[in-house]
Chain A
Amino acid sequence: MSALPTPIARPIRKVVRRFARPVNLGPAERWLSAVAGGGLVLFGLTRRRRIPGVALAMTGAGLAWRGITGHCDVYGLLGVDRAPDRAVRVEESVTVHRPAAELYRFWRNLENLPRVFEHLISVGETDAKHSHWVATAPADVPVEWDAQIVADREGEVIAWRTSEDSEISHRGSVRFDPATGGRGTLVTVSLEYAPPAGRAGVAIAKLLGEDPKAQIHEDLRRFKQVAEAGEVPTTDGQPSGRESREDERRAS
């Protein structure tokens, strides 16, 4: 559907979401099924002979629906799944005006990370490779998970994955590449996690919010602010004429 213009795609997507079951068709087969089905509907409806025409159109409609939803009942019965790999991948970068080695050191001391990641409460390093994370999504109970560092090259990259029985299941990495012309460091975070279907998927989706890319963008902005400016800018708690009005209301 992604190839259709938004005003057309949006209502279709809405209906599809309402009735859809898990995708088990590959992308090429989905398109073929949808296009051939649509053609068959037109062909059937324009036949002179009514009964065979309607029969053809109905078959076509079935095929088209199969293509649009990406779900095939027959495949479902046979246990066939040709859907593409469903892991969600998010990647986001920021250029920071500090040397890679320094940024790596900040990040590698995992206990620093709650300073920049909005929903992280604490990170405890249990040993050189293992750590315990606690985070909370807005208006939700805290979730905890264990993570293990799987790649670690000083000043270049740190990669991790969560242990298998974690409530929050994902793999991730942060790369520190020299920015063009030696002007600081390009910091790139990649995350890969299951879509919000299973329990683990739902938990991480809540943490990353409706727009995971935007959430990571804001977290990386805070990382840059701490690295370059030494603090995150804030106006929380500053005076305004608004507080005084609330005070007045409370007093009266």
Chain B
Amino acid sequence: MRALCWEGRKHVEVRDVPDPEILAPKDAILRVTSTAICGSDLHLYDGFIPTMRKGDILGHEFMGEVVEVGKANTRLKVGDRVVVPFAIACGGCFFCQKELYSCCDNTNPNASMLEKLQGSSAAGLFGYSHLYGGYAGGQAEYVRVPFAQVGPIQVPDSLSDEQVLFLSDIFPTGWMAAENCQIEPGDTVAIWGCGPVGQFAIRSAFLQGATRVIAIDDVPERLDLAAEAGAETLDDSEGDVLERIEAMTGGRGPDSCMDAVGMEAHGHGPQAAYDRVKQTLRLATDRPGVLRMAIQACRKGGTVSIPGVYGGFIDKVPMGAAFGKGLTLKMGQTHVHRYLRPLLERIEKNEIDPSFIVSHRMNLDDAPQAYAMFRDHDDGCTKVVLKP
């Protein structure tokens, strides 16, 4: 089959690889009908996530048709049309039972590696480094889905691929990021990063009752998309963001602030340059420019929600400000499984149509160009859907 393989920093290639096979009793094999490139794939592309190996198949946003099931998989049958959560959960451990699916104890074959780094392991992820299990991803013609008894959700034929595909990651991720803001009626939410997750977060924040959303980015098309959803937009290349947010919120600050950017924040000015140098020299793994601003801007007693991915160590985080203002920080990989059913219902009720985010549809064979385009925001690229 054809599959997109990671070959090194800023180097991905579509190659012929063997077809996947059932390897464990609860597995299923899908014929992928649609797959997308995620902003977090760009962290892999840019080489900032450790333990990638040449030849690893990428992709954690995908859906398709079941073509084979393992002997212990009683939930799925051949022909089912399903969307698959990017995190793999066993369903039986303490964490799965608490619906903290991305904290699953049992799905990472390389648990001991992650355990050494962060104290305990987390769930295995599709196509997201060997630290997270080294599972082959879904930017391919076929994909093996382990623990398919638990994750995949059947979707009705009345909805198109593009309407349901983003249940695999970015819609639940934006939704949980908004939930983590602990929004109350009347709240103002400031969201840094108007990429796909930020866009879903803006819409989710409104659906969860926010009165105002302030969206911050420097890419015009993305700001336009945010404005379409009803957000007030701030172009952060046009002057001091903190000052402007303070003015917009009557000096009080937003009730909650969201970092939907993560470890590769671009930023402006000397501190951004300093972060970039440190990251390039591998003195720091992540560039936390947005996180610093979110903490600084947030009102007293407010919440900072962090859906943006961080992978290692960061520097000069204003912990004093976070403490002094009594902030709550909420973060982590999305517990996708928890949101599949309720968000699918919202799509069916037409409360939201996730296909708004798609700017480009391309063939899997053109995935290398798609990565470069998405990374550089060329041609107004907000989201690429690949067709195998």
Contact = CB atoms under 8 A, between A and B. Distances in A.
Interface of A: 95, 97, 183-184, 214, 217-218, 221, 224-225, 228-245
Given A224-B105, A225-B106, A233-B107, A244 B136 contact: no
B20 A221 contact: no
A97 B54 CA distance: 37
A241 B56 contact: yes
Contacts of A225: 90, 106
Given A221-B111, A239-B57, A229 B21 contact: no
Given A239-B1, A241-B55, A183 B136 contact: no
B131 to A, nearest CB: 13
Contact of A231 (B26, B53, B88, B134): B26
Given A228-B92, A239-B1, A234 B109 contact: yes
B247 interface: no
Given A97-B93, A228-B92, A230-B72, A240 B23 contact: no
A5 B96 CA distance: 42
Contacts of B133: 233, 235
Given A229-B107, A240-B17, A242-B55, 6 more contacts: A230-B26, A230-B92, A233-B90, A235-B133, A239-B136, A245-B55
Interface residues of B, number: 46
Contact of B13 (A184, A235, A241, A242): A241
Interface in B63-101: 72, 88, 90-94, 97
A231 B24 CA distance: 7
A228 B93 contact: yes
30 contacts: A217-B112, A221-B111, A221-B112, A224-B93, A225-B90, A225-B106, A229-B90, A229-B91, A229-B107, A229-B147, A230-B92, A233-B108, A233-B109, A233-B124, A233-B147, A235-B109, A235-B133, A236-B23, A238-B21, A238-B135, A238-B136, A238-B144, A239-B18, A239-B136, A241-B13, A241-B17, A241-B57, A243-B17, A243-B18, A244-B16
A231 B72 contact: yes
A229 B92 contact: yes
Contact of B93 (A229, A237, A240, A242): A229
Contact of B106 (A218, A229, A243, A244): A229
A240 B147 CA distance: 20
Contacts of A229: 90-93, 106-107, 147
B5 interface: yes
B213 interface: no
Nearest to A240: B55
Given A97-B93, A230-B72, A234-B23, A239 B17 contact: yes
B134 A235 contact: yes
Q: Which residue among A97, A229, A234, A238 has the maximum number of chain B CB atoms within 10 Å of its CB?
A: A229
B50 interface: no
A230 B25 contact: yes
Contact of B97 (A97, A230, A232, A235): A97
Interface string B124-167: 10000000011110001000101100000000000000000000
B348 interface: no
A236 B136 CA distance: 11
A199 to B, nearest CB: 31
B67 to A, nearest CB: 15
B261 interface: no
Given A233-B106, A233-B146, A241-B13, A184 B94 contact: yes
Of B5, B91, B105, B134, most buried by chain A (CB within 10 Å of CB) is: B105
Nearest to A247: B18
A233 B55 contact: no
Given A97-B97, A183-B94, A241-B3, A233 B56 contact: no
A245 B55 CA distance: 9
> Top 5 closest A-B pairs, CB basis?
A241-B55, A241-B5, A229-B90, A242-B55, A228-B92
A240 B16 contact: no
Given A239-B19, A242-B55, A233 B92 contact: no
Contacts of A231: 24-26, 72
B102 to A, nearest CB: 15
Contacts of B146: 233-234
Nearest to B140: A239
A224 B106 contact: yes
Contacts of A214: 112
Contact of B90 (A184, A228, A234, A235): A228
From B93, B106, B108, residue with most partner A Cβ within 10 Å: B106
B140 to A, nearest CB: 8
Nearest to B109: A233
Nearest to B25: A231
B268 interface: no
A238 B5 contact: no
Contacts of A230: 25-26, 72, 90, 92
Contacts of A217: 112
Contacts of B55: 240-245
B387 to A, nearest CB: 20
Nearest to B135: A235
Interface in B1-55: 1, 3, 5-7, 13, 15-21, 23-26, 53-55
Contact of A244 (B17, B88, B90): B17
A18 to B, nearest CB: 31
A240 B57 CA distance: 6
Contacts of A235: 23, 109, 133-136
